[in-house]
């Protein structure tokens, strides 16, 4: 679908471009354009969020009454694409895109007043405490206990695959408060201060060498009952609501389009420099990929329009998650193929990883050969393998669709 912009939306796009050209510093631009996965490095990410917050753009999808931009679905599409084209990093999705909507939807007035402003200004940086060593795709099998003790819950257990828990100071977490026959019952949604005694964060180093993921251990951690989001024992309802934003609240198509445009420009540079024609099979695969982006874009416009007026996405969120993450993976496959033999070398120094490169001694600009995008392509390829796993595996999403839509 080709989006025909109204005069108002065209003016908004021009405003976005002027803002990015004015406020996007070279350092922040470098961080965004040389990201190795969906996560920017923490320092640049927070610096950019501060700039967006000052403009009132830190939370594009939030209502203006809570400090959000209150943009329409089309405006969010416009900004998403222009951001990627300009090289600006995304803000962390855990807080503004996930915890924020959940607090807006289920929080008490006191919780909204306390958490939402601090989320916007960066004082609170969030991580997600869902998966456990024995409860990943089958999230309802979680076992982390939270026993009531007066005005507190006492939490014990562990969570795994927590993105940026090493720099987060708040976590939204699912805990087991009651045993029942249905495992989805008896789960409570807690907001946990990461500075509370008894919390230990251990790094999980990815294949790319980055420290982004973590396992977090809880040893008799006391959390106030006032930090329950929604109702006690009904956290599964809040979690399902939040997952609609995690799975379906992101527009994949604008970013995929921008990455595809960048790949075509990079191929043109290589062709002009080396004089070698592009492999016609690669050209055909790129054309097919561009068509699939158009299909995804049409679906996203329908879903985001529904979200913008307060409708639930339902199983459309699962559909978007499947299509978006699988196309993200295919994008990295095309980039890796286009990068050619240069991509075989491990050259992390040229990139801006989403976390510390533990054990990597090289200087920041140390890479062997080729163009920077050729050095980054294999790292992105490795990191995007997780896209079809996080937020509920794509196999789980297909099961959701089959059950809800086909009655299987």
Q: Which H, E and C letters describe 13-80, residue by residue?
A: HHHHHHHHHHHCCHHHHHHHHCECCCCCCHHHHHHHHHHHHHHCCCCCCCCHHHCCCCCCHHHHHHHH
Residue 2: pLDDT over 60: no
Residue where a domain stops, chosen among 235, 265, 281: 235
Mean pLDDT score, 272-299? 88
pLDDT of residue 1: 43
Residue 114 makes CB contacts below 8 A (sequence gap 6+) with none
Residue 30: pLDDT over 60: yes
Task: Say yes or no: 289 and 344 in one domain.
Answer: yes
Residue 51 included in any domain: yes
Mean pLDDT score, 73-99? 88
Q: Please report where in the chains the tokens 């320092």 appear, as a residue.
A: 43
Looking at every residue in the chain, the average pLDDT score rounds to: 88
Q: At what angle do helices 73-86 and 280-308 cross, to 10 degrees?
A: 140
Q: What is the DSSP string of 361-375?
A: -S-TT---SS-HHHH
Element holding 384 (H helix, E strand) = helix 372-384
Task: Say yes or no: 281 and 309 in one domain.
Answer: yes
Task: Say yes or no: 249 and 218 in one domain.
Answer: no
Q: How far apart are CA 355 and CA 320, in angstroms?
A: 27
Q: How far apart are CA 376 and CA 216, in angstroms?
A: 29
Residues 389-393: contacts with CB within 8 Å, 24+ apart?
A: 390/161, 391/243, 391/246, 391/247, 391/321, 392/137, 392/139, 392/243, 392/247, 392/318, 392/321, 393/136, 393/137
Q: What angle do CA 173, 143, 230 make, to 5 degrees?
A: 35
Residue 191 makes CB contacts below 8 A (sequence gap 6+) with 99, 111, 115, 170, 171, 172, 173, 223, 227, 228, 229
Residue 195 included in any domain: yes
Residue 353: pLDDT over 90: no
Residue 336 included in any domain: yes
Task: Say yes or no: 255 and 392 in one domain.
Answer: yes
Mean pLDDT score, 184-198? 97
Q: What are phi and psi of 330, to 5 degrees?
A: -65, -35
Max mean pLDDT among 240-254, 268-282, 324-338 falls in: 324-338
pLDDT of residue 249: 53
pLDDT level of residue 278 (50, 70, 90 thresholds): confident
Q: How far apart are CA 192 and CA 312, in angstroms?
A: 27
pLDDT level of residue 373 (50, 70, 90 thresholds): confident
Question: The domain spanning residue 159 has which CATH number?
Answer: 2.40.110.10
In terms of C-beta density within 10 A (0-12 exposed, 13-18 middle, 19 or more buried), how is residue 128 classed? buried
Tokens coding 90: 């995304």
For residues 357 and 347, the answer to whether their CB atoms sit within 8 Å is no
User: Which residues span the domain enclosing 209?
Assistant: 125-235
Question: The domain spanning residue 94 has which CATH number?
Answer: 1.10.540.10
pLDDT level of residue 318 (50, 70, 90 thresholds): confident
Nearest residue to 329 (alpha-carbon basis) of 280, 289, 371, 373: 289
Count: domains in the chain: 3
pLDDT of residue 96: 94
Max mean pLDDT among 76-85, 154-163, 301-310 falls in: 154-163
**What DSSP character marks residue 301?**
H
Residue 116 included in any domain: no
Question: The domain spanning residue 303 has which CATH number?
Answer: 1.20.140.10
List the single range of 43-52, 82-91, 240-249, 390-399 with lowest mean pLDDT: 240-249
Task: Say yes or no: 162 and 297 in one domain.
Answer: no
């Amino acid at each position: 679908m080709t989006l025909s912009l109204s005069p108002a939306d065209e003016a908004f796009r021009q405003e976005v471009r002027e803002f990015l050209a004015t406020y996007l510093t070279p350092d922040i631009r470098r961080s965004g354009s040389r990201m190795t996965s969906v996560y920017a490095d923490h320092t640049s990410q927070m610096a950019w969020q501060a700039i967006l917050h000052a403009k009132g753009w830190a939370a594009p999808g939030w209502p203006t009454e809570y400090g959000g931009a209150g943009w329409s679905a089309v405006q969010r599409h416009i900004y998403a694409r222009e951001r990627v084209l300009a090289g600006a990093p995304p803000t962390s999705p855990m807080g503004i895109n996930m915890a924020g909507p959940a607090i807006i939807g289920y929080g008490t007035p006191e919780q909204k007043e306390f958490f939402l402003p601090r989320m916007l200004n960066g004082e609170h940086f969030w991580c997600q405490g869902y998966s456990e060593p024995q409860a990943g795709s089958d999230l309802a099998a979680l076992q982390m206990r939270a026993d009531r003790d007066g005005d507190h819950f006492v939490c014990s257990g562990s969570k795994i695959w927590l993105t940026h828990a090493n720099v987060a100071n708040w976590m939204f977490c699912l805990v087991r408060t009651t045993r029942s026959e249905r495992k989805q019952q008896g789960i409570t949604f807690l907001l946990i201060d990461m500075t509370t005694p008894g919390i230990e964060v251990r790094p999980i180093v990815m294949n790319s060498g980055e420290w982004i993921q973590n396992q977090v251990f809880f040893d008799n951690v006391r959390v106030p009952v006032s930090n329950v989001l929604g109702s006690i024992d009904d956290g599964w309802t809040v979690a399902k609501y939040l997952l609609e934003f995690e799975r379906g609240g992101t527009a994949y198509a604008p970013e995929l389009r921008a990455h595809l445009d960048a790949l075509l420009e990079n191929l043109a540079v290589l062709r002009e420099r080396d004089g070698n024609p592009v492999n016609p099979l690669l050209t055909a695969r790129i054309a097919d990929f561009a068509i699939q982006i158009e299909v995804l874009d049409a679906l996203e416009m329908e879903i985001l329009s529904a979200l913008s007026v307060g409708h639930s996405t339902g199983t459309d969120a699962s559909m978007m998650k499947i299509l978006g993450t699988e196309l993200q993976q295919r994008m990295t496959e095309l980039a890796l193929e286009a990068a050619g033999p240069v991509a075989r070398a491990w050259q992390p120094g040229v990139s801006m990883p989403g976390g510390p490169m533990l054990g990597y001694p090289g200087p920041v600009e140390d890479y062997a050969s080729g163009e920077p995008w050729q050095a980054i392509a294999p790292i992105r390829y490795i990191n995007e393998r997780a896209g079809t796993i996080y937020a509920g595996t794509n196999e789980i999403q297909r099961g959701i669709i089959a059950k809800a839509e086909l009655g299987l």
